[in-house]
Chains A and B, each alone.
Chain A
Amino acid sequence: MELTSQIGGSVVDGIAYLGGLASLGGRAAYFTFVAPFRGRPLRLRQAISQAMQVGVRALPILSLITFFIGLILALQSAYELRKLGAITFVANAVAISMTRELGPLITAIVVIGRSGSAFAAEIGTMKVSEEIDALETMAIHPVDFLVTPKFLAMIVMLPCLTIWANSMGILGGALFGVAQADFTWMRYIQASLDALFLRDIVTGLVKSVMFGITITAVGCYEGLSTGAGAEQVGRSTTRAVVVSIFLVILVDLVFTSLFFFMTEH
């Protein structure tokens, strides 16, 4: 009895949480897509500075990580492929798993660590120091002022970062291909391009947009629901990272199965 009520409680809490995220996302979508046509200019300047922070500054670390992931993928698939004497298929394996799955996912995880946590910490600190209240008393909507530029930046930057991550991953695979599988750089890249269909890249990018929305919604929601006190900011930041990773993987599962069943026939 105790157990069922606990399970019920968690389910209700979970649904309420998703409801909170959806309502925040809805309001941000209103300020991004509807309000500009009602005389409220879009906050492009803030969005661009956020995009710098979220996107451009993430490039060095993202490049390094995805290059290594590409290399790891090549090593792992070659381990199996060379038993079949099909080591030249390494290029296909790396290209497809990067663009369809690991490019978007690794990008999302790097962005959660860098930006999702930063969103929660920034907004949480503002909440604790009454800056959010100050915005409201100045008739400035916190979602409009703080959340919308972040959404805009993430929706644009995550697909861009994902494309970059895909290329760096393929480059990482190429290093193995050239060193161990008698490829030249040009031939490896040609083989990767031949292996890819447009839909592999597009499904990855669709997922990355969804990841961007999820990460921003969770980071900002956690920030806005920060309680009183500095330790609450830490709690929000941790929760933002943990919940974002969980939800990104959940969204990934949903979309991957959607794409799988859509292309079945």
Chain B
Amino acid sequence: MAHADEQTETMISLRNLRVSYGDREILHGINFDVTRGETLVILGGSGSGKSTLLRTLVGLEKPSSGEIWLRGKNLASISSTEMDEIRKRIGMSFQGGALFGSMTVGENVALPLREHTKLEDSTIGIILRLKLDQVGLAGFENYMPSQLSGGMKKRAAVARALAMDPEILFFDEPSAGLDPIIAAGVDQLILELKKAFHMTIIVVTHELASAFLIADRMVLIDKGNVVAIGTVEEMRSSTHPRVRQFLDRIAEPEVAQELDYLQMLTEITRPGR
């Protein structure tokens, strides 16, 4: 897996990454590399662990074991000061936008610049207008987040993620909760960013159409394991049953569901928790 030739520099590499919440292990040993400039889509159903994987990559969750190499540092064992330095070089767009409701769109985008740079207010003003223009929200800097539609909020969140000119951009469910036209617009925005800045982009989604449109490579996560990883064509022609089931949208067989249901019932009634 680690055959990095001269042109493809590895940006992130995961080595046997395990993450647990309490006693419950969510990710059971994840291994893959992300190369500079590629768009990697992490696919997976609800509860597959894909969101946990993303949260771990941006440092919101601590791995219980394993390694995450990013900019030559292992996120599993770095100090919080070093983590802050890495965070200044990455951008994250959250599922609901996560814009600060008490600030205008402009103040939201300007916040990382105000916090981490010593730029003049006028310079920050220019940068924020530039970033808003890039996401198609020119002229909206004085609006409050509550005055924006769902799609606009997401764009504003992308502008904020872009504020510090990140090397890696993370997206959590970019098209969740948007109508197909607006969702297509967000996909288009991701494609433009990829073309214009040659940025490394990591997207977590379960929207297949969007995934096939924006991805260079895809990873399918299921029950905390990597089931398959490959280019769009490789995924499309995969014969792995789980990949086929996901891509062809086949429901879980009834029997398996009933067994799960039974197991769930017995787990709850077990004494002690």
Is the beta-carbon distance between B98 and A139 smaller than 8 angstroms?
Answer: no
**Chain-B contact segment, one of A87-95, A128-136, A152-160, A186-194:** A128-136
Given contacts A130-B95, A133-B60, A133-B94, contact A138 B87 (CB under 8 A): yes
**Residues of B within 8 A of A (CB-CB), count:** 25
Chain A residues contacting B91 (CB-CB under 8 Å) are 137
Asked whether any CB of chain B lies closer than 8 Å to the CB of A230, the reply is no
- Whether the Cβ atoms of A138 and B94 lie closer than 8 Å is no
Which residues of A (101-131) have their CB < 8 Å from a CB of B?
125-126, 129-131
Known: A129-B98, A131-B98. A137 touches B115 (CB 8 A): no
A contact residues, total (Cβ < 8 Å) = 12
Taking the closest CB of chain A, its distance from the CB of B57, in whole angstroms, is 10
Report Cα–Cα, A213/B55, bound state, in Å. Answer: 32
Residues in A239-257 with C-beta less than 8 Å from chain B: none
A129 to B157, CA, bound (A): 13
Q: A125: which B residues are within 8 A, CB to CB?
A: 101
Report the nearest B residue to A134, measured CB to CB: B98
Taken together as a complex, chains A and B put the C-alpha atoms of A126 and B100 apart, in Å, by 8
Q: Is B92 an interface residue (CB 8 A)?
A: yes
Distance in Å: Cβ of B98 to nearest Cβ of chain A: 4
Given contacts A129-B98, A140-B112, contact A134 B87 (CB under 8 A): no
Please state if B84 and A139 are interface contacts (CB–CB under 8 Å).
Answer: yes
Q: How far is the CB of B180 from chain A (nearest CB, A)?
A: 24
Q: A137-B60, A137-B87, A138-B87 are in contact. Are A130 and B115 (CB under 8 A)?
A: no
Q: Which residue of B lies closest to A138 (CB)?
A: B112
The answer to whether B88 touches A136, judged by C-beta atoms less than 8 angstroms apart, is: no
- Closest A residue by C-beta to B84: A139
> What string of 1s and 0s marks CB contacts (under 8 Å) between B81-113 and chain A?
001110110111011101111000000000110
Q: Annotate B55-87 by CB proximity to A: 1 below 8 A, 0 otherwise.
A: 100111000000000000000000000011101
Given the complex, which residues of B lie within 8 Å of A130, measured CB to CB? 94-96, 98
Report how far A209 CA is from B84 CA in the complex, Å.
33
